[in-house]
Amino acid sequence: MRIQGAGNNRKFDAVGWRYFYATIVCSILVTFLSTRLDVLAVQGRIPFISFNIPFHFFVEMACILVCVSVFLIAFYSYRFIFNTKLLAAGYTFFAVGILDVSHLSGFTGYSVFPKPEELGLRTVLFISVSHLICAFGLVFVCGVAEYRKMKVNTLFWFLFEMGFLIAATWFIVWNPLGIVWMNAGVSALPLLLIQGTTVLLFVLGMVLTFRNYLIHPDRLQIKMAASFVLMISGEMLLIANGRSASYSESLTHFLTLTGLALLFDVFYIHGIRRPYIMLSEAKDTLNHYVNELDKQVEARTSELTQANNRLLADVELARDVQRSMLPDVLPHGETVRFSAGYVPAEKLSGDFYNVFRIDASRFGICIGDVAGHGVSAAMLTVFAFQSVQSLQEESHGAGVILPSFVLKHLYEGFNAANFQDEHYMVLLYGVYNMETGILSYASGGLNTTPVRVRPDGSIQMLESEGIAICKMGDFIKPQYQNKQLLLFPGDKLVLYTDGLVEARSPSRDAYTQERLAALLRTGARMDSDAMVEMVLADVKAFTGLDAPADDITMLVMEVTLPF
């Protein structure tokens, strides 16, 4: 990611190249001006000190402030961005600033030079070494990969640089070799070597900058190239006129200050402004993605709402279909009557019951529960009703007289149908013969125990064992057992699903079969309708809910005296 205004944008590239062209023009004008001023000063036609010394002092102070600012930016931002390139620039500018302070102290007369006659040459030596260090540092910066991250101990390198600067200052001020050079009259030779090396390094830095620009076009690279032009021009002026306290030296510092100002702008953007701009752009990009995501979520939510509405409509349709299977009015005979109670769950569930007349003396009785909730449970209910009804119609009633045969027919039909393996149902099917008073029944895995209630309040729990109607036809061929029960006038048979005995109170206690049996004993002399109402009212009071978690279904058959 590049900062705003960088990259291949032609408009900003053009602005950057204007910086470069302007620095070339500025360098030519300053060079010409410095030459003319020195000539006029030598001829005595203009005074030197009236303008040059304050200007020189001001420019040097500005250079020192710029160098310290770049160092502080690099030093304190490194712990956050770990930019080795910027840190190297910071240490370089710190060294330049310290040496410039030494140069300024010598120029203003507050010098620690051992001999006053050495002041001028060594003052120039300070500034030359300063420029050499600056050139080395900038070449390193241009050669290091962008944002190369590596852990650097900033305090260690700071102390190391301070030691290096102390050694360099000692070498410039007190070293015997420099005194020998001066006494021999060849003191300008080391200066020339230092200054020539500095120019070559500045040229190398400019070449590396143009290379970086070709790889990653960026206006900052053009600014750096412009600063190298100013540095090269200033160093050439210093070589051409090595005298201290001249107009050429002052204007050399002016070119250096201008170059440092450009570099300050580069490294300020590089170290401080760029991360914040990148963060701002990342924030804008994130906001854009968030807005797009909100739109997609809103669109998806609308789709899900529509799909949910369609699903709810399908569930309501399945609920209506399921409830339409339940008989509105139960048939009665001369010696038998039936009562049913049904409390649907909050969700679509799968309890079902039915009582139908087989012939003049027999009634078919069925109660069951399918696994799960929802549309699939409703479809299993429809399957159970249709299977029994089709068997009755095809056999003209003969096929539904034997309970075990009916369950076997359901089991085989269920396995032949395209139901999923996890679907199953449990039920009890029975046939009551009014002429004999015998109830024949078979259990298809009904998980509750039928209860016989005698008029005297005694309770009989009936056997209810069998295989559920499930997708196990390839492994199990069940043999359903027919059981018979002789019922007398006043007897009642209570059938129910697990939703009744497993109903939960607010404290999560189950209703239990024992509580049901105790209640049936108290209402043993009630008719079937009153018994159903009593049980359902007790369950509702126990749970405190109008809609239980599971369907509650209860079917009571009462044997009566003939009229």
Of 252, 224, 332, 276, nearest to 27 by C-alpha is 252
Query: Percentage of residues in the chain with pLDDT exceeding 70?
Result: 74
Q: How far is CA 490 from CA 241, 330, 336, 453, in A?
A: 134, 19, 10, 9
Q: What is the mean pLDDT of residues 364-378?
A: 81
pLDDT digits (tens, 9 = 90+) for 233-288: 877 777 776 554 556 666 777 777 787 788 777 777 766 666 677 777 888 888 88
Write down the pLDDT at residue 10: 47
Helix residue ranges per DSSP H, 8-83: 10-42, 52-81
Write down the pLDDT at residue 234: 77
pLDDT digits (tens, 9 = 90+) for 547-559: 777 888 999 999 9
The dihedral sign for the CA sequence 188, 189, 194, 198: positive
Write down the pLDDT at residue 368: 92
**Is the pLDDT score of 70 beyond 50?**
yes
Under a CB-based contact definition with an 8 Å cutoff, are residues 263 and 56 in contact? no
**Is the pLDDT score of 348 beyond 70?**
no
Distance of CA 258 to the CA centre of its chain: 48
Under a CB-based contact definition with an 8 Å cutoff, are residues 73 and 271 in contact? yes
3-state SS string over 118-167?
HHHHHHHHHHHHHHHHHHHHHHHHHHCCCCCCCCCCHHHHHHHHHHHHHH
Query: Who has greater pLDDT, 63 or 457?
Result: 457
Write down the pLDDT at residue 338: 96
Strands 451-453 and 459-461: antiparallel
3-state SS string over 543-563?
HCCCCCCCCEEEEEEEECCCC
Under a CB-based contact definition with an 8 Å cutoff, are residues 361 and 331 in contact? no
pLDDT digits (tens, 9 = 90+) for 450-489: 999 999 999 999 988 899 999 998 888 999 999 999 999 9
Write down the pLDDT at residue 189: 62
Q: How many whole angstroms separate alpha carbon 491 and alpha carbon 471?
A: 37
- Amino acid present at 418: N
Q: What is the mean pLDDT of residues 116-135?
A: 67
Of 143, 274, 298, nearest to 211 by C-alpha is 143
Which DSSP category does 185 fall into? Answer: T
- Mean pLDDT for all residues in the chain: 78
What residues does each domain of the chain span? 10-290, 326-559
CATH number of 326-559: 3.60.40.10
Write down the pLDDT at residue 436: 94
